[in-house]
Amino acid sequence: MKRFITIKDIARELNISVSTVSRALRDTYDVNKETRERVLEMAAKLNYKPNFNATGLAKRNSHNIAVILPFITNYYFSTVITGIQEVAYENGYNIVLYVTNDSPDRELSIIDNLPITSLDGLLVSVASNSDAIDHFEEVMANGIPIVFFDRVVNNMEASKVMQDDYNGAFEGVEHLINNGYKKIAHIAGPIGLTFTQNRLKGYIDAMTKHQLPIHEEWIIHSGFSQEDGKKDAEKLMECKDKPDAIFAANDRKAIGAMMLLKSKGIAIGKEIGIIGFTNDPSSEIISPSLTTIAEPALDIGRKSCELLLKHITKTYFHPQEVVFPGRLIVRESSVKES
């Protein structure tokens, strides 16, 4: 099988970063003339062809935007998509969705098979343990701008739109403390994810600020499902020193925990306070209703698409990083007397 020359080869030959090669080929504002010339020379020497998998040149006016993201079947991502759609449609763009199922392999396969001749830009939320940075650089080297949202790539120069997980978690835990809860547990997401770490840090800092002890057994890492929340709560109920409140990394876990506690006849709010993260519609439906930190999913979707349209229409538009705050919504599950 014939191997195509990629920007990785150019970077290796010149002993510079893939990102610099990508930016040099795109002629962005921040690459000096000399570097750019060396890159172009090496590209010619290696017979580098842009549009690695394409049958023609990028049209730049296909009015199609591709969205690559881990899941579409949860409330958070489907709301982000709604925001993306709103802005895309207002501006005459269609969107095309690619779902990685949070698999780095599938993500690579999707990127390498993108019909980039019929795309104007890319919105990406990366898979856990994504291994695709060079591939994203390659896409950008081909003149296709990328905006990352929610699960962003740290060491890439591109626009990024995120939410403030740290402060959301901090505010949520402080709300529990202000309502008289002192022994607060945290049922968290998988340990490797950036936003798991940020929410965990928000929890730890709020507890520390109020000089409350943190027991190691009160912090449980598992998955994001209702079932995971149920199991986590079961473990917490077996602790010698039982917590009097639970901060869950998302609403589905919080709801799983509530259902377990309800089945054991434990009064939610009065005996054990609970707070989630997302503002999933279920959080309003369950009884008692669930206090939560609302994620700015719609804003994230809209802003990501707005930034991408700017990158599509203006070659020299500087990458931006935008962080949206969460919003505490107090309901019944975190109030002792109701």
Binding stretches for its own copies (CB under 8 A):
55-56, 62-64, 72-73, 78-79, 81-82, 85, 89, 94-99, 101, 106, 109-110, 113, 115, 117-118, 226, 255, 259, 281-282, 285-287
**Minimum distance from residue 330 beta carbon to its own copies (Å):** 19
Nearer to its own copies, 14 or 96 (CB): 96
Note the helical H segments in the chain. 7-14, 18-26, 33-45, 75-90, 104-112, 133-141, 165-178, 194-209, 226-237, 251-263, 282-285, 297-313
Give CA–CA dist 215/182, Å, rounded.
12
- Nearest Cα to Cα of residue 203 among 222, 218, 225, 224: 218
Q: How far is the CB of 72 from its own copies (least distance, A)?
A: 5
Q: Which is nearer to its own copies, 114 or 236 (CB)?
A: 114
Q: 240 and 271 in contact (C-beta within 8 Å)?
A: no
Closer of 24 and 88 to its own copies (Cβ): 88
* Residue 300 to residues 149, 201, 306, 324, Cα–Cα distance (Å): 7, 22, 10, 7
Tokens (6 digits) for 300: 């994230």
In whole angstroms, the minimum distance from the beta carbon of 1 to its own copies comes to 15
Residue 191 carries which side chain, given as an amino acid letter? I
Assign 109 to helix, strand or coil. helix
The pair of three-digit structure tokens given for residue 299, joined into one six-digit string: 């804003």
Q: How far is the CB of 85 from its own copies (least distance, A)?
A: 7
Q: Minimum CB separation from its own copies for residue 71, in Å?
A: 9
Q: Min. distance of Cβ 94 from its own copies in angstroms? A: 6
Min separation Cβ 233 and its own copies, Å: 15
Instruction: Considering the complex, state which of residue 97 and residue 330 has its C-beta at the smaller distance from its own copies.
Output: 97
Q: Between 160 and 231, whose beta carbon lies closer to its own copies?
A: 231
Nearer to its own copies, 198 or 226 (CB): 226
In the block, residue with structure tokens 């779902």: 99
Rounded alpha-carbon distances, angstroms, from residue 87 to 118, 143, 264, 300: 19, 22, 46, 11
Nearer to its own copies, 98 or 195 (CB): 98
Nearer to its own copies, 81 or 272 (CB): 81
DSSP-derived letter for residue 269 is T
> Nearest approach, Cβ of 113 to its own copies (angstroms)?
6
Distance in angstroms between the alpha carbons of the first and the last residue of the chain: 69
